Each structure stands twice: as structure tokens, then as C-alpha cells.
Structure 1
Amino acid sequence: MVHCPVSLRANISIVLPSNQTDKMSSLSMFTISLHGLLSSIGIIENLLILGVVGFHVRRSVISVWILNLAASDLLATSSLPFFTLYMARGSTWTLGSTFCRIHSSIFFLNMFVSGFLLAAISMDRCLVVLRPVWAQNHRNVQLVGRICGVIWALAVVFTIPFYIFRDTIHQPNGKIQCYYNFARVLPADPFDLGHLCKQRKEALAFMKLFLSFLIPLLIIILSYAAVNTSLARRGHRRPFRFVRLVVAVVVSFVLCWAPYHFFIIMEVMAPSGHPAQRFAGKILPIAASISFLNSVLNPILYVFSCPDLCKKIRHSLGAVMESVLAEDLGEFGRRRSTAQSSISTTEIVLKQRNSITTFCLKGEDEEKNESLANPAEN
């Protein structure tokens, strides 16, 4: 298999003394446990949102946005256990190259979909405030559904390069890493492999930075700034819930995704073998884990901040528990009635048998008495 001249992650794996290895193993156990906890919380949250919003909430523009965001976050949190397995096995990938590409593509797909959806939701709220008449006439579920379809299609297109250049790389220390292999799909014309790998590496890093982070973040900030300016010009008071939600959305988006993009750019721009490159390579798995946290926070920010939806979730959970308890009680009642009916039936049959036996015995006694009374007839 052809690889780039300089291994992108060759300098990450180093031999540690025994005491440092013990410390790293303790840290790894904590990280693995944290991954498992985040994965469980994220899956439960997004499944709950999909179930409640999808089946118990009237279809609206907001519900369509929330459903698509929850679907993307559920996809990301569902893939997190495999990353946890990768860490639990000593940072070595054992699930094959094909699933390596699929797993990594899910991460990048969620990265693009989340950024595009957050930007679209911000623009939607901006249009509702700035152009209320246009929003009332043109803003509907069908339009938002088509926009979400375009967002998913664009995210899939932008994810294709990451699927192509993802591969399993065997390290000299025996570990297998699921990482980039920019030497795949080589051109037919003569080329410099080192220069080609460097170009592809930088292109994908800056594409992620601009398309999934900087541009959506700029749209989010400008949209909410326009909303704030419009409300201030009209003399309307900004509700505290709105301000809190805006600050939470921007802060969580920046805190979750900024470390990942920062260290990706550091690894790309630093010279090969430079301490900055080695440091970025070590921190990147942790930064990727932090970016997964955004899929756990989004349901809290966009859904649980709505009191009406929280009531629907509580009522839905209550209805589910009531139905389960009703089914259990009904099943218990049916079993009890069946047992009682079977007991009563058994008693009736036994009574009938006893009566028949008694009748037969009485008949035999009468026949014996008659034979003794009339011996001549015998």
C-alpha cells in the first residue's frame, strides 16, 4: 500500500516509562468512562427528542429543524462507542478499513450537518424578526424540509473526500490507526507524492475549518446580532430566555469545535517532526472527544430550553409508563382470571366426577342388596 513519504502520525506513539504508563492507563480509563457516559446520554437524549417531537408534537418549522438536528446528533453519538472501543484497545483500530472510513465519515457528516443546521436555524429566526410578513407567507414546513434535504446533500458531498482519504495505517509499534492516507487515488500524470500529500492535507483541513466552523459561526453571530439590533430599534425588550439561548448556542459551538479545528490547523501547518506537530497529534483525540460533546448539548439548548416541549416530554414519558403499567396490570389480571377460571373449572370437573362415582357406588350397593334379598333369582 502506498503512503505519503512522511507518516502523519508516526511520531505520536512513543515508549513511556512504567510509572508514566500507569498514569496514562488511569487517564485512559477515565477518558473511556467519560466517552461511554457521553454516548449513553447523547443517544438517550436524541432518541427521546426524535420520539416525542416526531410522534407527539404537531409538525411545524421549529419541529423540522429540531428533528434534523437530533437525527444528526444521534448519528454522531451512536458512532461514539466505536471510538471508545478504539481507545479501550490501546488506541488501535481493529474493525477493518471499510468501517474505519464509514465511522470517520459519520463524524465529518455530523460536523457539516450541525454547522449548516445551526446557521440555517439562526437565519430562520432572523427572517422571522426582520421580515415577518415574508416569513408568514413563505415560511412553511415544506420549504424547511427541502432546505434540510439540501443541507444533508451538501454535507454528504463535502464528506466524500474524507471517506476517500481515510484508511487504516499500520504503525511500527504494531498499532493500527484509523487516519488519513492522502496517497490513495493517485493521478495518472507524473507528480511529486510529498507535495501532493501536503496539498490534500491542507485542502481538507481548511475546508473543514471554513465550511463547518467559521462560516456557520459568522452566520450565527450576524443573525443574532441583526435580531438584537432590530428588537432594540423597535424598542422591544429582549427576553432573558432568548439572550441566554443565543449566548449558550454560540459559546457551546465555539468551545466544542474550536479546539478540534485549532489543533488540526496546527498539525497541518507545523513542519514535519516539529514539537508543535507532535503535540497537536497527541491532543487531537481529546479535541475530537470534546467536539462530540456538542451533540449532547444541542438537545439541551434547543429543546429543553422550551418549557412547553419539556411538558410534552414529561407527559409522553408518563403516558408511556402508564401504558406499560396498564399492560402489566392487565396481563396480571388476565393471568389471575385465567387461573381462577381454571381452578373453578377443575373444581366443577372434580365435583362432577365425585358425583358420578358416588352415583355408581350407590348403584352397585343397590344391586348387591337386591341380589342378597332375592337369592332365588340367581
Structure 2
Amino acid sequence: MHCHVSQDANLSLHTLSNQTSSMTSLNMFTISLHGLFSSIGIIENVLILGVVGFQVRRSVISIWILNLAASDLLATACLPFFTLYMARGNTWTLGTTFCRIHSAMFFLNMFVSGFLLAAISMDRCLVVLRPVWAQNYRNVQLVGKICGVIWALAVLFTVPFYIFRDTYVLPNGKILCYYNFARLLPAEPFDLVHLCNQRKEALAFMRLFMSFLIPLLIIVVSYTAVNIGLVRRGSRRPFRFVRLVIAVVVSFVLCWAPYHIFIIVEVMAPAGHPAQLFAGRALPISATIGFLNSVLNPILYVFSCPDLCKKIRHSLSAVMENVLAEDLAELARRRSTARTSISTTEIVLKPNALTALCLKAEDHGRRIGILLNCPERSESVP
């Protein structure tokens, strides 16, 4: 049983899926772009995790960056499956369970990114405005616990998006991985359409406030307080990590704002209204822009932190040196084996040549009365 409140969404999705035949070139470009984003994003975030996790001294800043990179890696790891969905003509062929897992990973990244950026902003604010407290209590263990709470909260907020995700077949044969708000219905009498509308609006606004507006408000208030505190002290601003956080925050806002705007428009616009149809068409593109945030963050880490860039270059150089060292060692081993084989052959051949020489010497000695000093063979001459 599917809740036909999704008819509003289905109307836009029907329109989108029916347009695929006339947008072949655009689809191919989008699919290629998704493939490029996923490849670059996975490589970037794995590299950031490897370098920051194993070659950077553990600190509060490195803990923040590690958790952001882990969240971004989850999102970019899901992107190839979204690319496959588009490549197969906007139809989901990976089953209901993986549909829910894939969607949950997308929303988990959304919540973790928002919560982490808000926490990092508050951390910067405390360092500037409460330096004594920060010196005494701000440490790796505390930040690690905060990150654990952030992940737990993000998982909790992601659960409804996992529960109400489902697959169903459209009249044109395409399989959608979309919301089904008719799951887990109450026992008492109820209006199905009204209940589904309530659930749809609740999830849309919960996502808007918890993953975007509230974190954004915390970020703005925190950095306003930081700037005011620095101005009063006459301190220099901004410093390196502040530049990094500002760049990450700007990327977060620009990448996620379109998605949330179109979600709210789709939920609030009347059924069949042009605004709702436009929002339905724009949602896949805005989701792609949201994924792009996970690709941009590692680039921002590198360009905002020259030390991190040096460590990445050093890591890549070390990897190449190890590969070349292994190749050179293999080549040396082969050459050594070849030399050993040649030496063994020479050792085997030399006694035979020496024996032939001695036989000739013996024959010549009998003639001229001179016996050459040949090993072993000379002793047997009568």
C-alpha cells in the first residue's frame, strides 16, 4: 500500500521520467558528471583520511577534519549508485533494502555535515572568547566524545528517512526509490492522505531546520562573536583555520540551500502547481549539487592548509618511492639470480676445459719430455 500523497511528487517525477527520451545529451552529460564527481570525491576523501589519520599529529583540528572527511566519504561512496540509477533511465534496480540504505547515507551526511560545522564554529568561539577554559578543558578526548554524540544524533534523525523510503513501480514501468508515508500506520481510524501530508511536511521541515537553518544560525552567531572578540582585543584576523572553516561553511550553504528550497516548495505548493512541477524537476539537480559539497571539502582543506598539502605531496612521493624501490629491488634480485646462474655455469664448464688442456699437455709432454703440472690427471700418468 502506497500513500498517494506522493501523487504530488509522482506528478513531477512522471514528468521528469517521461522527458528522458528528449534529453539524451543532457542525461549523458549529467551521468558523466556524476561519475567524475564520485571518482574524484572518493579518492580525495580517502587521501584526506589517510594523511590526517596517520601522518598528522592528533589534535582537536585534525579530529574535526577527520570526521568531516568520513562523512563526505560516505556521501561520495553512495554517488556511484545514484549514477547507476540515472544511467539506467532513472529507474532503481538495486532492491528496496539498498534503496533505504542509500538514501539514509545521503541524509546522514547532510546531518553530520551541518552538526559538525556548527560544533566547529562553537569551538572556535570558545577558543577566542574563553581561552582559559579552552586551555584547561578543550582536548582530543572531549572533541572525540562530541563527535560521537554528533554521529549518534545524525543517525537518530536519519532513521525516519530510512523507514519511509520504499520502491514502487510507476505506470511507465520505471521503479522509483522514493518516500512511502503509508508505512507503519496507526491502529485507530485515520485519514490516510492527511496523515501522509503530515509526515511529509514534518520530515521536510525537520530536515530544513536540523540540518541547515539551525547549524547555519549557530555558525553565523559564533563567527560574529569571534570577530567582535578579536576586534576588541586588536588581534589579527582571520587566521588559517578560520579561513578553512569559512570556506567550508560557504561551500555548505551554496551546495545545500537549493536542495532545501526546492524540497519546501514541493511540499508547500498546491498539487499540480507550476512551482511544484518545477521543484520536482529541479530536485535531482539540486541533490547533485548537494553531493558536490562532499567533493569540494577536501579541496578546501588542501588549499586552506599548506601544511596538509605538503603532507599529501610527501605521502604520494613516499608511495611512489616505495613502488619504485620494490621495482628496483625486483630488478636487482633478477640480475643477481642471472649472475649466480652464469657463475655456476662457468664453474661447471671450467673443469672440463682444464681437463682437455691437460690431456693435450700430457701428449705433448711425452713427445718433448716435459710434463705439465695438471691437477689429478698428471698423477695418473705412468
TM-score normalized with structure 2 length: 0.89
Secondary structure of the residue aligned to 2:14 is coil
Measured against aligned partners, the alpha-carbon deviations of 1:219-260 in whole angstroms (never above 9, x if no partner) come to 111111111111011112313756754543332111100000
The within-5 A match list for 1:363-378 is: none
Amino acid at match of 2:105: I
> Equivalents in 2 of 1:159, 1:108: separation in Å?
6
**Map of 1:132 onto structure 2:** 131
Distance of aligned partners of 1:83 and 1:353 in 2 relative to their CA distance in 1, 3 Å threshold = farther
**Map of 2:10 onto structure 1:** 10
Distance of aligned partners of 1:21 and 1:213 in 2 relative to their CA distance in 1, 3 Å threshold = closer
**Map of 2:217 onto structure 1:** 218
**Map of 1:61 onto structure 2:** 60
Secondary structure of the residue aligned to 2:167 is strand
Unaligned runs of 5+ in 2: 364-382
**Map of 1:336 onto structure 2:** 335
Distance of aligned partners of 1:296 and 1:344 in 2 relative to their CA distance in 1, 3 Å threshold = same
Distance of aligned partners of 1:188 and 1:15 in 2 relative to their CA distance in 1, 3 Å threshold = closer
> Equivalents in 2 of 1:95, 1:355: separation in Å?
77
Q: CA deviation at 1:124?
A: 0.8
Q: How many residue pairs align between the two structures?
A: 363
Question: Are 1:113 and 1:151, in contact at CA under 8 Å, matched by a contact in 2?
Answer: yes
**Map of 1:373 onto structure 2:** none
> Equivalents in 2 of 1:243, 1:59: separation in Å?
19
Question: Are 2:16 and 2:281, in contact at CA under 8 Å, matched by a contact in 1?
Answer: no
Distance of aligned partners of 1:174 and 1:133 in 2 relative to their CA distance in 1, 3 Å threshold = same
The within-5 A match list for 1:190-229 is: 190-229=189-228
**Map of 1:253 onto structure 2:** 252
Q: CA deviation at 1:70?
A: 0.5
Q: CA deviation at 1:126?
A: 1.0
> Equivalents in 2 of 1:268, 1:64: separation in Å?
37
Q: CA deviation at 1:10?
A: 2.4
Q: Percent identity?
A: 79
Distance of aligned partners of 1:21 and 1:99 in 2 relative to their CA distance in 1, 3 Å threshold = closer
Q: Is 2:81 aligned against 1:82?
A: yes
Q: CA deviation at 1:6?
A: 5.0
Question: Which stretch of the first structure deviates more once superposed, 310-319 or 85-94?
Answer: 310-319
Question: Are 1:221 and 1:250, in contact at CA under 8 Å, matched by a contact in 2?
Answer: no
Amino acid at match of 1:101: R
Question: Which stretch of the first structure deviates more once superposed, 216-225 or 337-346?
Answer: 337-346
Distance of aligned partners of 1:110 and 1:314 in 2 relative to their CA distance in 1, 3 Å threshold = same
> Equivalents in 2 of 1:243, 1:120: separation in Å?
13
Q: CA deviation at 1:351?
A: 3.6
Distance of aligned partners of 1:295 and 1:98 in 2 relative to their CA distance in 1, 3 Å threshold = same
Measured against aligned partners, the alpha-carbon deviations of 1:116-139 in whole angstroms (never above 9, x if no partner) come to 011111111111111111101001
Amino acid at match of 1:264: I
Amino acid at match of 1:304: F
Amino acid at match of 2:157: F
> Equivalents in 2 of 1:39, 1:15: separation in Å?
23
> Equivalents in 2 of 1:360, 1:154: separation in Å?
93
Q: Is 2:162 aligned against 1:163?
A: yes
**Map of 1:238 onto structure 2:** 237
Secondary structure of the residue aligned to 1:304 is helix
Amino acid at match of 1:167: D
Q: CA deviation at 1:332?
A: 1.0
**Map of 1:348 onto structure 2:** 347
Question: Are 2:3 and 2:196, in contact at CA under 8 Å, matched by a contact in 1?
Answer: no
Distance of aligned partners of 1:159 and 1:233 in 2 relative to their CA distance in 1, 3 Å threshold = same
**Map of 1:322 onto structure 2:** 321
Amino acid at match of 2:346: E
Q: CA deviation at 1:323?
A: 1.6
Measured against aligned partners, the alpha-carbon deviations of 1:183-237 in whole angstroms (never above 9, x if no partner) come to 1111111111101100100000001000000011111111111111110111123
**Map of 1:309 onto structure 2:** 308
Question: Are 1:76 and 1:106, in contact at CA under 8 Å, matched by a contact in 2?
Answer: yes
Measured against aligned partners, the alpha-carbon deviations of 1:130-160 in whole angstroms (never above 9, x if no partner) come to 1111101001110000000000011111100
**Map of 1:106 onto structure 2:** 105
Q: CA deviation at 1:347?
A: 2.9
Secondary structure of the residue aligned to 2:23 is helix
Question: Are 1:43 and 1:74, in contact at CA under 8 Å, matched by a contact in 2?
Answer: yes
TM-score normalized with structure 1 length: 0.90
Unaligned runs of 5+ in 1: 366-378
Question: Are 1:66 and 1:303, in contact at CA under 8 Å, matched by a contact in 2?
Answer: no
Distance of aligned partners of 1:183 and 1:56 in 2 relative to their CA distance in 1, 3 Å threshold = same
Q: CA deviation at 1:310?
A: 1.3
**Map of 2:28 onto structure 1:** 29
Secondary structure of the residue aligned to 2:178 is strand
> Equivalents in 2 of 1:147, 1:353: separation in Å?
81
Q: Is 2:271 aligned against 1:279?
A: no
Amino acid at match of 2:183: R
> Equivalents in 2 of 1:105, 1:145: separation in Å?
23
> Equivalents in 2 of 1:210, 1:352: separation in Å?
91
Measured against aligned partners, the alpha-carbon deviations of 1:309-361 in whole angstroms (never above 9, x if no partner) come to 111111121122112111111111111111221222233234446667x5999
> Equivalents in 2 of 1:71, 1:234: separation in Å?
36
Q: CA deviation at 1:98?
A: 0.5
Question: Are 2:48 and 2:298, in contact at CA under 8 Å, matched by a contact in 1?
Answer: yes
